[in-house]
């Protein structure tokens, strides 16, 4: 049973690696970014609430995000473990996740931290922009998302570091190389 987070700046490879880890460990990968994007595409009320924040590269308000994660973690498929991708992203979300897990009688086993330098992150996201055309993958929004990460999310790693659950993996190199490092770090 594995309950884990994957954390790192935009472009570090969280979404890419989350899919692989999920298949390998047989646990659901839950990406808050993907859930928001699916809701935007489906024009749901949640999507309408989130869209302007995502387009600007800002965090969606905690009230919206926390409720969404609480509902998702209550679903039956998470009983044997899960991989959260993109959450928590600030101190208030850490508190909320602690409360959700305490309510379920669960604890996190591991927090996987993916690293990469800023130039590489910007290049990857600009590369994705050409392929996928995500509204938040323009250069100015990418730089803003990186600033938001430094201002709000980097401290989340420190919290889990103090709890002794962080395993850091170098996100540079090919997708396969990074996957290999992750599997070694998790074994």
Annotated binding residues, as ranges?
11-16, 32, 37, 58-60, 86-89, 93, 128, 134, 145, 173
Return the number of other C-beta atoms located less than 10 Å from residue 15's C-beta. Answer: 17
**Annotated active-site residue in 20, 51, 128, 143:** 128
Long-range contact pairs involving 39-48 (C-beta distance under 8 Å, separation at least 24): none
> Could you say which residues in the range 110-129 bind ligand B4P, by CB under 6 A?
124-125, 127-128
b/e map of 36-71 (b: 16 or more CB within 10 Å)? bbebbeeeeebbebbbebbeebebbebeebbebbee
Q: Site size for ligand B4P, by CB under 6 A?
A: 32
Return the number of other C-beta atoms located less than 10 Å from residue 138's C-beta. Answer: 15
> Could you say which residues in the range 22-61 bind ligand B4P, by CB under 6 A?
31-33, 36, 53-54, 57-60
- Binding ligand B4P (rule: CB under 6 A), the pick from 22, 49, 87, 113 is 87
Does 136 bind ligand B4P (CB under 6 A)? Our answer is yes
Name the one residue in this structure whose structure tokens are 């009320």: 45
Specify whether 41 is catalytic.
Answer: no
- Residue of this chain nearest to ligand B4P (CB atom): 33
- Binding ligand B4P (rule: CB under 6 A), the pick from 12, 29, 73, 83 is 12
Specify whether 3 is catalytic.
Answer: no
- The closest of 108, 106, 103 to 87, measured between CA atoms, is 108
């Amino acid at each position: 049973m594995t309950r884990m987070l994957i954390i790192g700046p935009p472009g570090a490879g969280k979404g890419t690696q989350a899919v692989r880890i999920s298949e390998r460990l047989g646990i659901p990968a839950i990406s808050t970014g993907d859930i928001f994007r699916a809701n935007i595409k489906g024009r749901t009320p949640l999507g309408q609430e989130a869209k302007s924040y995502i387009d600007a590269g800002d965090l969606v308000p905690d009230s919206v995000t926390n409720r969404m994660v609480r509902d998702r973690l209550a679903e039956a498929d998470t009983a044997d473990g899960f991989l959260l991708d993109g959450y928590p992203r600030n101190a208030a979300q850490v508190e909320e996740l602690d409360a959700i897990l305490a309510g379920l009688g669960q604890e996190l086993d591991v927090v996987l931290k993916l690293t990469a330098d800023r130039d590489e992150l910007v290049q990857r996201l600009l590369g994705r922009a050409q392929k996928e055309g995500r509204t938040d993958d323009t250069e100015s929004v990418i730089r803003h998302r990186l600033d938001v990460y430094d201002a709000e999310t980097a401290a989340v790693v420190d919290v889990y570091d103090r709890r002794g659950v962080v395993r850091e993996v170098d996100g540079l190199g090919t997708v396969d190389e990074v996957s290999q490092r992750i599997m070694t770090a998790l074994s």
